[in-house]
Chain A
């Protein structure tokens, strides 16, 4: 366990960094990276691998905090792989990561992130700062860049969390290279995000109220309608499966922490306000 016990070894400079430990042990990333000599994996363009993708997530600030919602569909090319995918993942008591892109990498990233925050708190005896958490996801995205360049495993996430110091909920979005942007009002990624952004921009600018002033009930209706609209033109976005009663995932971050809307509440709102 500790060969340097009798010596005066100082802890490594990456103390508290769980991803560094996983890398050292060869546990992460689990997919081999491109060798310097050239691509070791067939590239997407050559049609070697048809990847599973998850699509269309949105988040916006409303009166109590941030609402994060995602459709349930995962696709590979023209094929629907799964219609109950959960793309809005709880990272800790205050933080959500929502993913568009390849679930294999995204879920792995979420697991690394979740464990990183806990590991940091346990080992360093203090909570990781909000900035630290936002940067941690950025670092994971950068780690993934080698694969992305080969056309495999691209992930474009949103990250939402409650800032306990300032007493406000915050929302960030990323690009595939790991650049982070703080969203003022709303963010959306995935194949259906064009439609979503248009709707949210329209509602925020010319709607009855700006998004930040909307009540929870109004915010949920807007999220469901926006996802339904995205599914209208984008085959990779799952709408509501009326027969299977599969509804989008909607989670809210407020001062009280994270709350997931129950399926029966979503069904009620959907039947009354969206259908």
Chain B
């Protein structure tokens, strides 16, 4: 079937289409810098989607739980072994993504007799003195960063969603906001709005424009009522080297419902 190059390209294209279709229902995830660190935020109905990888690295993922789990385990194992053998300071998201995860994803994606990873990941790393790093890592191994290099403007956020159109709208919305010095309460409200915009775009991806403030508020309160809130921070002010802290829904929900 794939003896000819053309067939291989076709097979890859089919596979891409198949995976995009599988991911299309994925609920958006947003990660935003704020005054004391990074907030990771999503709404969900079923399983956990935000995970701690290492002292200063967090992950959000959509896709097949089995594949997410395998990649999550690999990431934790690589980071922990490095942190043990050298030091926690030597664990970096850039190396983890570029040298370990991305090649594995690409290899699985292009070996068309094997199963690809049905997953899209958002990784965030709390900077040590420097800027925060946000990475989107796709099923084909492609890495999209939050810029700051090669002439691309630096952004204080990263998002993933089930479709490109949805993620693009979330990015458009977040580019218009200023939150890097905001409080956790304020950034949580912005993250919730970004999620809402992404979620609306999943159902109705047409059009370039952002929904009106009224539409956002309406959809947001409907979704808040139907889903559970999942959020965690990488908190720079933590007394321990471990910065990951899940935010309890009991704290977040009244806050977000009040800001409706």
Query: Digit string of A1-44 for contact with B (CB within 8 Å is 1, else 0)?
Result: 11001100001000000100110010100000000000000000
- Residue with the greatest number of chain B CB neighbours at <10 A, chosen from A5, A27, A118, A122: A122
Q: Decide yes or no: A21 and B73 within 8 Å by CB, A118-B242, A122-B53 being known contacts.
A: no
Q: Work out how many contacts link A and B, with CB atoms closer than 8 A.
A: 50
Q: Which residues of B contact A112 (CB under 8 A)?
A: 84
Closest residue of chain B to A21 (Cβ to Cβ) is B77
Q: Is B164 an interface residue (CB 8 A)?
A: no
The answer to whether B81 touches A1, judged by C-beta atoms less than 8 angstroms apart, is: no
The answer to whether B81 touches A25, judged by C-beta atoms less than 8 angstroms apart, is: yes
Q: Is A111 an interface residue (CB 8 A)?
A: yes
Q: In the docked arrangement, what's the CA distance between A83 and B173, Å?
A: 59
The answer to whether B76 touches A119, judged by C-beta atoms less than 8 angstroms apart, is: yes
Q: How far is the CB of B105 from chain A (nearest CB, A)?
A: 9
In chain A, positions 114-142 with a C-beta closer than 8 Å to chain B are 115, 118-119, 121-123, 125
Q: Which residues of A contact B52 (CB under 8 A)?
A: 121-122
Query: Digit string of B109-124 for contact with A (CB within 8 Å is 1, else 0)?
Result: 0000111010000000
Per the CB 8 Å criterion, the residue count for chain A at the interface is: 20
Q: Decide yes or no: A5 and B115 within 8 Å by CB, A118-B242, A123-B76, A125-B48 being known contacts.
A: yes
Q: Which residues of B contact A118 (CB under 8 A)?
A: 80, 242
Q: Is B165 an interface residue (CB 8 A)?
A: no
The answer to whether B240 touches A111, judged by C-beta atoms less than 8 angstroms apart, is: no
Q: Is B189 an interface residue (CB 8 A)?
A: no
- Residue with the greatest number of chain A CB neighbours at <10 A, chosen from B53, B54, B84: B84
In chain B, positions 78-136 with a C-beta closer than 8 Å to chain A are 80-81, 83-85, 100, 104, 108, 113-115, 117
Q: Which residues of B contact A22 (CB under 8 A)?
A: 81, 84
The answer to whether B104 touches A1, judged by C-beta atoms less than 8 angstroms apart, is: yes
The answer to whether B85 touches A27, judged by C-beta atoms less than 8 angstroms apart, is: yes
Q: Is B152 an interface residue (CB 8 A)?
A: no
Q: Which residues of A contact B51 (CB under 8 A)?
A: 122, 125
Closest residue of chain B to A114 (Cβ to Cβ) is B84
Q: Is B74 an interface residue (CB 8 A)?
A: yes
Q: In the docked arrangement, what's the CA distance between A194 and B120, Å?
A: 60
Q: Which residues of A contact B242 (CB under 8 A)?
A: 118
Q: Is B70 an interface residue (CB 8 A)?
A: yes
What is the interface of chain B, defined by CB distance below 8 A to chain A?
A: 48, 51-54, 70, 72-74, 76-77, 80-81, 83-85, 100, 104, 108, 113-115, 117, 240, 242
* Top 7 A-B residue pairs of the complex, sorted by shortest distance between their CB atoms: A1-B104, A6-B114, A115-B84, A119-B80, A6-B115, A122-B76, A122-B52
User: 22 pairs across A/B with beta carbons < 8 Å?
Assistant: A1-B74, A1-B100, A2-B104, A2-B108, A5-B114, A5-B117, A6-B115, A21-B80, A21-B81, A22-B81, A27-B81, A27-B85, A93-B240, A112-B84, A115-B84, A118-B80, A118-B242, A119-B76, A121-B52, A122-B51, A123-B72, A125-B48
